[in-house]
Structure 1
């Protein structure tokens, strides 16, 4: 028996319809017939090989990494074209938190969603 991965992330929202519309409009995510967002692993694996992964990590309770959010968690979204997504985000008037960063394992940028949750955008590299 083993855990194979994250099967879903379920988040409370003061206004789920507004939040879903924001993710659809600002990030270009498509709602499924069930009113949720699905990520099919095959496309990410085809593009990034072993670079397509889901990280489950624990941080100390006093970490500042999730700031300015006061939520106890942050979502990292794997994206295929960070530059194009940043232009889309800018067109919707959403401000970045800090400056985008590049590392040997990918490029990153951060924004806040309408519920005050920090979103980390990650363009992976093929491993």
Structure 2
């Protein structure tokens, strides 16, 4: 017995209600009571990075990674909503999956990951 998964992700926000609404509207995250949402079973990665990593912004201590299905359709919907979506071919990894990045209204990086297969 031990830890079986991530039970929550908690962080400070300048406008928690507005930010919660943005995540619910654009990503379907936390739309239930108390920000609850049911997730599908699948891989999760817990990986501290070096303090000087350039994988995400130097002024941030974390980057949220969300598993996604239909990454192309999700990116199209986000772009249609006026959200900048960044993709780079060198982020995609055979056997691991494809990636895209967006930022929430408070500038927090969100990596969208469509696992391979």
TM-score interval (norm. to shorter): 0.7 to 0.9
Q: Which residue of 2 aligns with 1:107?
A: 98
Q: Which residue of 2 aligns with 1:18?
A: 18
Q: What per-residue deviation string (whole Å, max 9, x for no partner) do you get for residues 6-54 of structure 1?
A: 21111111001111121122223351122x04233xxx33xxxxxx211
Q: What TM-score do the two structures reach when normalised by structure 2?
A: 0.85
Gaps spanning 5+ residues in structure 1: where?
A: 46-51
User: Which structure's relative contact order is higher, taking Cα pairs within 8 Å and 6+ residues apart?
Assistant: 1
Gaps spanning 5+ residues in structure 2: where?
A: none
Q: What TM-score do the two structures reach when normalised by structure 1?
A: 0.79
Moved over 6 A (4+): none
Alpha-carbon distance in 2 for matches of 1:30, 1:117: 16
Q: Identify the range of structure 1 (20-29 vs 116-125) with the bigger mean alpha-carbon deviation.
A: 20-29
RMSD of aligned Cα (Å):
1.9
Q: Report the count of equivalent residues.
A: 115
Residue of 60, 64, 80 corresponding to 2:54: 64
